[in-house]
Amino acid sequence: MAKFTNFHVITTLLLLLLCFTSQIYGKEDSGDLGKCGKKLHGGCHDKAKAFKSKLIAIFSILVSSIIGVCLPLFTQAIPALQPDKNLFVIVKALASGVILATGYMHVLPDSFQDLWSICLPERPWRKFPFTTFVAMLSALVTLMIDSFSMACYRKKNDEIKGILFNGAVKDVKSKNIGVHHHHGDVVEGFKDAESQLLRNRVVAQVLESGIVVHSVVIGLSMGASDNACIIRPLIAALCFHQLFEGMGLGGCILQAEYGLKIKAIMVFFFSATTPFGIVLGIGLSNVYSDDSPTALIVVGLLNASSAGLLNYMALVDLLAADFMGAKLQSSYQLQIWSYVAVLLGAGGMSLMAKWA
C-alpha cells in the first residue's frame, strides 16, 4: 500500500516540476520566435469570462469524474452488473473503446501539434517523428512495468501461497481421501485466482498512471488559457471524456478487489487531477504560455508518453485480455455486442476530438 501511494506522489511531484520548469524557461526561449509565447487580447480573449468558465469547469469535471469512476464500484449491488455478468462485459468494452480513442484521437494528435509547432526550431523537431518514437518507447516501458510488476507480486506471494497449499494438503490428508488429486486441484485453483487478481491490480495501477499524466496536462492547458470561446465547449467535451474514461478505470479497480482505502486513493487521484491541473494553470496563467518552446516540448513529450501507455493498456490489457478470454470466446453473440460497444465508445470519443 505504501509503494502504491508513493508512486502517485512521485508522479504528481514530477508533473509539478515539469510544469514549473516550462513556465520558468518558456518566456526566455520565446523571445526570438516572433509572437510565440505572447498572450493575445480582445475578441474571445477575455480573462474575466474565461475565469468564470474555469470555475464552472473545475466543479463540473470533478463531479463527472467522480460519477464515472464510482459508477462501476457501486454496481456490485446490482446482480446484472456483477463482473461475471454479460452486461458488465459489454459496458467495460464500451469504456475500453473510450480509452483507446483517447490515446489515438486526443493525446497523440495533441503531441504532434505541440512538437511540430512553428514555435519550435525546425531541427530537430520537424525533422524526426519524436511523437511516435516516444509513444513507441512508452508502450515498451509499459510492457516492462507490466511484466516486472507481475513477477514482483508473484514472488512476494509465493510464501503465502505455499503456506495455504500446505495447509490444504494437510487438511486433505487428515480426511484420507484422494490426496494427490485434491492437492493438484487446490494448487491450480489458488494459482489461477491469484494470478488473475494480480493481473487486474497491475492493470488498474498502470492505467491510472497514464490517465493522471494526461489529465494534469489537459487541466494545465485549460487553466492557462484566457480564450472563453474555446473553454466553454471544452467543458462539455471533458465532462463526457472523464465520465466514460472513469467508467473504464472504475471497472478495472472493481476487478482488482482493492480494500476501501486503496479504492478511495485511486478515485481521488483520477477525480482530482484535471481540476488540480486547471487550478495550477490559473495560478501560472501570468507566466505560463502554451506556445513557449519549453512548454511545447514538455507537454508534447508527456502527451506522447501518455498516448503510448493508453494505447498499450487499451489494446493489450483491456480489449485483448477480454476478447481472448474464455467468456467471450465461448459466445459469438456476446463478442458481437462487445465489438459494437467498443465501436460506439471509440466513435463517440473520436467525435469529441472536434472540440477537445
Quick: pLDDT tens for 294-318.
888 988 998 899 899 999 999 998 9
Residue 25 pLDDT: 38
The whole domain housing 201 covers 53-352
**Please, which residues have CB within 8 angstroms of residue 82's CB and are 6 or more apart in sequence?**
75, 76, 88
Reported confidence tier of residue 147, pLDDT bands at 50, 70, 90: confident
Instruction: Report the C-alpha gap between 80 and 327 in whole angstroms.
Output: 16
In Å, what is the CA distance from 331 to each residue of 31, 122, 327, 334?
A: 62, 53, 7, 5
Least-confidence region, from 91-105, 179-193, 275-289:
179-193
Reported confidence tier of residue 174, pLDDT bands at 50, 70, 90: low
Q: Is the pLDDT of residue 166 over 90?
A: no
Residue 273 lies in a domain: yes
Residue 2 lies in a domain: no
Residue 63 pLDDT: 95
Beta bridge partners of 45: 42, 227
Residue 145 pLDDT: 85
Residue 76 lies in a domain: yes
Residue 267 pLDDT: 94
Residue 40 lies in a domain: no
The secondary structure of residue 40, as a DSSP letter, is P
Average pLDDT over residues 107-127: 91
Tell which residue, 120, 79, 97, 302, has the closest CA to residue 209.
302
Only one residue has cell 487541466, namely 219
Reported confidence tier of residue 100, pLDDT bands at 50, 70, 90: very high
Residue 90 pLDDT: 92
Residue 13 lies in a domain: no
Residue 319 lies in a domain: yes
Number of domains observed in the structure of the chain: 1
Q: What would the pLDDT profile of 39-70 be if each residue is shown by its tens digit? A: 555 557 778 888 899 999 999 999 999 999 99
Residue 27 lies in a domain: no
